[in-house]
Amino acid sequence: MKTTSNQQTALALNDRITLVSGTAMPPLGLGVFQVEEGDDLIAAVKSAIRLGYRSIDTAAVYGNESGVGQGIREALLETGLRREELFITSKVWNADLGYAETLAAYELSLQKLGLDYLDLYLIHWPVEDKYQSAWKALEELYLAGRVKAIGVSNFQTRHLEKLMQNAEITPMVNQVEFHPFLTQKELLDFTRKHNIVMEAWSPLMQGGLFEEPLLLELASKYGRTVAQIILRWDLQHGVVTIPKSIREARIAENSQVFDFELSPADMERIDGLNRNLRVGPDPDDFDF
C-alpha cells in the first residue's frame, strides 16, 4: 500500500490518501445513494469488497445503513478481511443538525450499521445556523476517538470559511457534486490550500455524461469506457470518487482505472467541458 497527499494521483485501488488526521482514505469507493434495503444492496456491497473496494459511502437519509452493515458483515466473513481494513462513511441528516441531536444521530447510524466506529462522518448539507453546533459534536466525537475522521458535504467556500472561523478542527473532507460538467475549480483550489480532501459525488452525473462526444472520443482513444475516463480524471485531480452501481460488472469496471493515464492535454480538454451544471441541489439555494 502506498499513501499520497491529496494532490497526487493514487496509483492503485489499495493506495491511500492521507487525511490531516493521519487517517488513510481509499481513493475510490462505492456509493449507495438510492439503493433500497434488500438483497441488491447487500450483494453490491459484497461484490465491491470482493473486488477490492474498501470504501463504502452511505448516509442516514439514504435509509439503507442496516443493509450496508449486513453487506459488510457478510463480506468480512467471506473474505477474512478485518473491519479496520474498511473505510465506512455516513452523514448526519439536516433534521439532526445540532450538538445533542448530532451526537444522537451518530449513535443511531452506528447501531444501524452494526459498527462501533465510522472512518468518516460528514455533515450532509450546510444548513445555515445549524452546521456550527453540529460541527462541535463531530469535533467531540473525533477528539474522543469515536470516529477516525470528520468532514462536511455540499459546503461552498463561504460555508467552509464560516465554519473554520470558530472550529477547533478543520474539516478533513468536503464531499460535493463534481464531474466534467461541474468542475468546481475555485472550491477545489480552496480545499487544496487548506488540506481538505475533495470527494466527488455523482461523479458519473448519474448517467448524464455517457453521450458526451469528447468523452466518447477519449474512451475510444484510451480503449476505456466513458465511466473509466471520468473516474480517472477525478483521481488525476486528487479527488476521491465514489461511483454508485448495483451491477457487479460495472462495480468492477469502475475500479479498473489505475492502469492508464490521461495526458495533461486531455485532462484540460475534460476540464473545458465545465458548464457549472448540477444534477443535485445547489448548496447556495436549497430548502430542506
Question: Which residues are designated catalytic?
Answer: 62
| Residue 97 contacts ligand NAP per CB under 6 A | no
Counting contacts by CB under 6 A, is residue 250 touching ligand NAP? yes
Is 96 a binding residue for ligand NAP by CB under 6 A? The answer is: no
Across the beta sheet with 16-18, the strand order is: 3-4, 16-18, 24-25
Q: Which stretch binds ligand NAP (CB under 6 A): 17-25, 140-148, 158-166, 247-255?
A: 247-255
Q: Which of 70, 50, 49, 178 is nearest to 115 (CA)?
A: 70
Angle between helix 99-113 and helix 65-79 axes, rounded to 10 deg: 40
182 binds ligand NAP (CB under 6 A): no
x/- letters, 37..76, toward ligand NAP (CB under 6 A): --------------------x-------------------
Binding to ligand NAP (CB under 6 A) within 105-134 occurs at: 124
- Residue 202 touches ligand NAP, criterion: CB under 6 A: yes
Three-class secondary structure assignment of 98-146: CHHHHHHHHHHHHHHHCCCCEEEEEECCCCCCCHHHHHHHHHHHHHCCC
How many residues sit in the footprint of ligand NAP (CB under 6 A)?
27
- The span from the CA of 275 to the CA of 29, in Å, is 26
- CB of 115 closer than 8 Å to CB of 69: yes
**Residue with the shortest CB distance to ligand NAP:** 31
Longest Cα–Cα distance of the chain, Å, equals 53
Q: Nearest distance from residue 80's CB to ligand NAP, in Å?
A: 26
| Residue 197 Cβ vs ligand NAP, minimum distance, rounded to whole Å | 14
Which H helix or E strand runs over 183?
none
The binding site for ligand NAP (CB under 6 A) comprises 31-33, 57, 124, 153-154, 175, 201-207, 225, 227, 242-247, 250, 253-254, 280
